[in-house]
Structures are given as structure tokens and as C-alpha cells.
Chains A and B, each alone.
Chain A
Amino acid sequence: MTFISYAYIVLFAVALLARVTIGRSSNAKPYLWVLLALSLIFYGWFRWWYLLILCGTATVDYYAAQLLVRPSLTARQRKQVLAVSMISNLGVLGFFKYTNFALGSIRAGLGYFGIAAPWQDAITITLPIGISFYTFQSMSYTIDVYRGLLTPARCFWRFLLFVSFFPHLVAGPIVRALDYLYQFDRPRRIRAVVVTEGVALIARGLFLKMVCADNIGTFLAGIPAISDGVWDKGYVRGADSATLWLWVALFSAQIYCDFAGYTDIARGSAYLLGYRLTVNFRYPYIASSFSDFWRRWHISLSSWLRDYLYRPLGGNQQGRARTYLNLFTVMLLGGLWHGAAWPFVLWGGIHGTALAVERMLGLADRARTPATTWTAALAQLCWSVPYFVVVQLVVALAWVYFRSDTIAHANMFAANLFTAPQWTLDFREPSLRLMIVLLLPVAALHLRQLAHETARFPVAAPFERAAWAAMMLYLAATVYGRANAFIYFQF
């Protein structure tokens, strides 16, 4: 089930009904049971057997955590228990997500040396939706219990609800047990502030997804078997660079609106149901450096990678060379997490390289250092504005690899971007004009945040937020695009 569906409206209405009837107190077990049942319906709605995988990995992690806190266990045994949990999660993820990628890559590698692989075709494996998200959630739980940061969940069904809670189940944010489990016992009174905030988040999410992301997505990708999109024209040698830069800008906006819109709906839905999910996006296109970008984009993933991969690898504590290597490795794996295809790996590699180079040259620190005199401020402006442009251009260029189906196509697209423009865009075309208009709200959201962060421009007051929410809801009901699946569902 997706958020943009009529089935979800029905499911969410049932959840809300439960919230206002049996879910008003802090420890309302029936309410939690209803949420669990609805979460399982939400996930099983795609394919019922997805539930077996979800419940299977959750069972292993739940019992692993219970074992980890037994005082009778030696350090070695605790490590073994943790290993079982990790292997079960990564094994499931690896099988469903990376089997064909591995087989295909080995076959290509053997072919390079003139050796024919004994297998020819890819195996038909359906990737369960959201598996990358919930396995990471589940893993963070056992690791935190192992590290002694967390007491295990009291009972299995509570843990299962943490893993399967429908607002965050299939596309995040990647919730940590530390931030979530305690909320089961927290008072859950219904307050006007919470309701208006939740509705405003949902309205913004619907606007970003249905108006911006869906319209741009259809324009770029077309409708399967009915119409062609424009993005693929960038794979042809000699395509107009000016046009392609616009497509890149549109895709940058689309992926932000798609994912941030999803997160807003998820957070708003959870909020209305009495739970708080972590913020996942903080206006990434105003990032002043690459490290700043990763503090603003898909925050729950980048912080997960930082805490459970970068730091265990040694982080920045084992010398400069190792730090750069760690950054690169983590981003490479981050790219692979997104999708089992080489363009994603390259996308991660671009970001990993950029982060390592930035750290090597100390560029991020320079961008962050506050200026004390006006001359220093002017000098910093002269430095930070061009660097901001460089950062955003590299981010945009990396999206080309994220969006393209093969590296060869992405390379061709990228090469076309740096040719002389031919200015073939026809601005009389209504759909193109609409696309340009759709870039404006994304730009406006980011500019307002920039003004807030740099010039202390006030955040929106409740009445202003309410007016914006009403307008966004109106536009979502009248300018919605053709429904496209959320991009991050495929991960």
C-alpha cells in the first residue's frame, strides 16, 4: 500500500478512529494491537509473503536482543549472538537485493577474461518493498542492545510494531529503537497543536509528492508503453546541454519532493497517531559543503551509516588516510544500499570522493567558520558562494548517475552536459512551462530556510503555516500529476 492510494485513506481512517477511541491513554494495549494489525495489512497489501520475511527477521532480532542481555553470556558468546542477527539481516537483504547484481557482475567479469559463466539469465527474485529500511532498523536495535545503549523490548509484538509501524515501514525515515520504543509508554493525549502540525505536514507532503514530484516524474520518464519521457534523450550524443541541465534541475527537484514528501506524510501520519518520527530532510539544496549536504539529505540513513559503519571502521580516529578511505567506503556502500546497480555505486563513489577531498583540503571547516570582522565576512562570502555552487553542481551531476539505468548512459548524459548549448527548448510548450513553475516551490522552500539560517528570518507562524497548508492541499487536489510510485520504494 502506498500513501497516495485510496486503500491508504481507508487504513489511515481506521487508525485515526482507533486513536480517538481506544488510543487516548499512555498504555492502551488494544490501540497498539490495532496499529500492529494495520501495519501488517499495510505491508501485506503488496504481497502477503513479504510478511514472512518481515516477521522472520524481526523474530531473530528480538530473541538475539533478549539473549544479549543475559548476564550468563560471555563476551565471545555475545559477539556470536550479534553475528547471527547481522548475518540473518544482511543475508536476507543480500539474497533479495544483491543476488542478481552479484551474478551479473561475476558473469561480466568472467566475460572480460573470455570465460563464459555457466549461468546466462538473471534469477527471478522479487525485491520485497522497504527491505533495506526495515533491516537497517532491526539491525540498529540489536547493535544498540549489544552496546548497552538500549534495554530490549518487553515483548515481541511491541518490537514487531516498532519494525513494522506503517508510516515509516517502506521508505523510512530509518527509525532507531532508542528514539521510538519509549514512545509506547508515553502519554498520548490529543492536542490541537499536534493535530494541526500533523495535518500541515501531510498537506506539505501531498503537495510535494502529488504536485511537484508526480508531474515532474511523468514529464521526465513518460508513461510506460504509452508515452516517452524526455530524460532518455540525454543518452543520445549531441543532445542540447542547456536542455539537459534543466532536466537535471528537474530531477533534483523530483527526487527531493518525492522523498521529502513521503517523509512529511509519514511524519504527519505518525504525529496524528501519537508518535514522533525523526526529521529526514533539512533543505539539502542550501548545503554549503558535502558534509553539510549529508547532514540535510536522508538524515536517518547518513546518521545510521555514521554510527553503525563509519565509526566502527575507525571513523576519523585512525589517521588521515584511513579517514578518507572510511568516508569513501561508507559512501560506496551507501550507494549500493540504494540499489543493486553500478550507477548507484558510482553515485556513492562520487559523494565519497567529494567528502574525502573536502576533508583533505579542510573545505568544510572553512565554510563553517564564523567570520568576526566585516572583511573576514566578505572574504568568506567570496569563498563560500563559489564553493556552494561547486557543491550543488557536483550533487546535481551525481544525480545523473543515480537516475540513469547504465553507467554508459550516465556518462553520455554527463558528457552532453558539458557541450556548447544549442538552446532548443520551446518555452511555448505548456508542459515545459508547468515544469519550470514547479521548480519555484522547491526553490522558495529552500530560500526561506536559507534566509532563516543566515539572516534569522523568522520561521512561519501558526497562522501562516495553516494558510500554506490549505493552499498546498488545494493544489494537491487540483494540480496533481499522474500517480507514480515513490522512487525510494525500489530500495
Chain B
Amino acid sequence: MLLSISSSSRLQIRHRALAAGVFGLIVFAAMVAAGNAWDRSFPSTRFDTPYRDGVPDVNREWYLASEKDVLDYDVFYHGWWGTPQALRRADVLFLGNSRAMYAFRAEYFQPYLDVLGVRGYNMALPSGADAFPLAIIRKYDLHPKVVVVNSDAFFANDLTSFGAWATERSDWESWRLYYEYVASWTARKYLHLLLPPWREYLLDRRYQVMYRSASTGSVRLVVGEDDQRLMTPVSPPPISAADEATADGMVPSQLRNLQVFREEVAARGAAMVLTLVPYGDSMPLVLTRKLSAISGVPFIEEWPVGLEGAAGSHMNARSSKRFLDMLMPRLLAEPAVKVRLLGQPALSRQSSDSWSLRP
């Protein structure tokens, strides 16, 4: 037997479906309104999330460097946002890990460099070690005059997981990944002005969104810049026998990697200087002193008391200024640095115009 539906029943079904669709929209609108009302009525549930009024969109100057994932490695390796050109223009290159990213802020080091008419660039990276910056220096044939290295866990001959992934990705894969993140962040930035980010509230957890200057490498955190945690209660930090022993064990391999790095940098006409961004751990200080003593690479040691920041070792802007106000005069007074920045022109470099945006 064939079942058939009369045209009037069909019409009824259609109208019911339409009404159900409209009802669904009303329920959704009601939830949006109720959610917003709750969010505004009980501000105790609110805390700083990255979704706030006034956060700028990603633009040519401030690119998205970290948003749930670390994106910086892709930006540098695949040359997004004109980073190769900016790197080629830099006379002083700051390298290191995330502590260096927060410590070497262009707004505080550049005034010192402006006096000499030179540019600095902060290419420190989260978990940053030597192999990835070396790959970037070679890939873009960089010729800085001075390379300042935060030697904290730097000379490990390590590409890091982020670096390995970025180098394995093709330009197309990297572009897809990177701009999907940018689209996602931009959409959510506006979406959560309307819909509260309940997950963040439920988990009582915020995550960082970081912008970075394409021309100087300076960082800007959308949220979580500072939890005012004390990083350096005393100066100099107490050094234990265990620190000495650990450092002694690390010296041979780190020294080997340091030599390789120094040779590459020297071949490009740059002077290398070691420094250490101070935080709670004193072992890197011992290690860096030993590396400097053996290799002869100058080490500028500054350990101001009372530096503060977030996550235990990421300096806030105020502490960065304090640190750089002490470090920069000493850096510029360093004889090797002086020679490179004042007395001797850098090795010939190609015109930045000859470089394409995407290698």
C-alpha cells in the first residue's frame, strides 16, 4: 500500500517546521539576553578574559603571536607580516626564550639605540633555544651588528617542538594554520562582546593572547600581563652546590653549541654578548658565568631586586624598563659592541627591496 500525504497535511507540516524554526531563534535570542543579563548582574563571575572592549584587531603593525597556540615560529619561519624585512633592518638582535620576550621590550631598549641611530629587534621566542634563530639567521641571511643572547637554556642545539613543526610545514600549510587562528581570534573577540565566554568563567582560567610588533618584536599582552609576583627577592641570588654541579654537567655540550652559534654570528660580522634575564632560578646564572669565562664571550650580568611579573618569570613592563635601564648602558659600553655599532660598518647586506614577503 502506498502512503501518501495530502497537500493540506504537507502544508501543515511545512508551517509547523517554519514555526519551530522561528521558535528556535526566539529561544536562542532569549538565551543571549539571559546570559548577558546574568553576566552584567553578577560581575563577581567576571574576570579578565581576552575578550574586552578596545582590544585592537590584528593589523600590519601588531600581529597575532600567541593565541592558545604559539604562532610566532610560523610567523618568523614563513615570513608573515614582513618579519624578514624587519629582521634584516635590525642592527641589534635580541634572542632568547619567553623570559627574554617580556624583558627586552623595544619601547625601553630602542631609546638607547636611537642615540646611536641603530635599530633593535626582539626575536626571542617561547621555549626559544639556539637552533631555530640560527635557522632564521641563515634562511634570511641576516647581518646584524650585535646579537644579545639571554643564555637561559639557550645553547641546547634544540629546534624546539614549535620550531620543528614550523619548519616542517609548507608555506601553504603555515598560511592556512596562521590565518585560521587570526580569523578565529578576530571572530571570537567580537562574538564574546555579545556572548559571555562561559567556559573561561567555569574553569576560572584565562589564557594569554599575545600581539607582537612586526617592526620591533615587542610584545603586547591582551590579558595577564602582570600578577605582580615577585621574581627577584634578593641580589645576587644564593648559589648552592647543586647549582654548581648541575651547571658543570651542562657546560661541555652548551659550550659546543655556543661556539657553533658564535662562529655563525661572527661570520656575519656581528658581536655576540650574553646576558641573563633574572628570575627565581640561580643555576642559569652559574652556567652563564662559566660559559662566558671559558668562551670569552662577554656576559653582562644585572640582577635588580624586586622585579615583578606574571607566571613567575615573565617581567611586566615596569620591571622590563628597570632591567633595560641597567642593562643597556652596560651593553653599549661593551668594547666589542661599541666597535660594531660606532666604529665599523656592518658587512654588506642586500637591499631589503630584493626580498619577497614570502620566501
Contact = CB atoms under 8 A, between A and B. Distances in A.
9 contacts: A191-B14, A430-B204, A466-B21, A467-B23, A467-B24, A470-B31, A474-B195, A479-B198, A479-B202
A462 B21 CA distance: 9
Given A434-B202, A474-B195, A463 B14 contact: no
Interface in B152-205: 160-162, 172-173, 176, 180, 183-184, 187, 191-192, 195-199, 202-205
A225 B162 contact: yes
Given A7-B180, A478-B35, 18 more contacts: A5-B180, A6-B187, A47-B173, A191-B17, A195-B21, A200-B24, A223-B69, A224-B161, A430-B204, A431-B205, A434-B199, A462-B16, A466-B27, A467-B23, A470-B24, A473-B28, A478-B192, A480-B199
Main secondary structure of the interface of A (DSSP, over half): helix
B342 interface: no
B198 A478 contact: yes
B14 A466 contact: no
B326 interface: no
B127 interface: yes
B199 A479 contact: yes
Interface of A: 5-7, 45, 47-48, 191-193, 195-197, 199-200, 215, 223-226, 430-431, 434, 462-463, 465-467, 469-471, 473-475, 477-483
Interface in B251-270: none
B127 A225 contact: yes
A345 to B, nearest CB: 29
Interface residues of B, number: 42
B18 interface: yes
A378 B20 CA distance: 41
A431 B195 CA distance: 21
Interface in B304-343: none
Contacts, number: 98
Contacts of B195: 474, 477-478
Contacts of B161: 224-225
A7 B173 CA distance: 13
B349 interface: no
Interface of B: 13-21, 23-25, 27-28, 31-32, 35, 68-70, 127, 160-162, 172-173, 176, 180, 183-184, 187, 191-192, 195-199, 202-205
Contacts of B176: 7, 45
B24 A430 contact: no
A6 B24 contact: no
B17 A196 contact: yes
B46 to A, nearest CB: 14
B23 A478 contact: no
Contacts of B197: 478
A466 B198 contact: no
Contacts of B180: 5-7
B203 A430 contact: yes
B23 A466 contact: yes
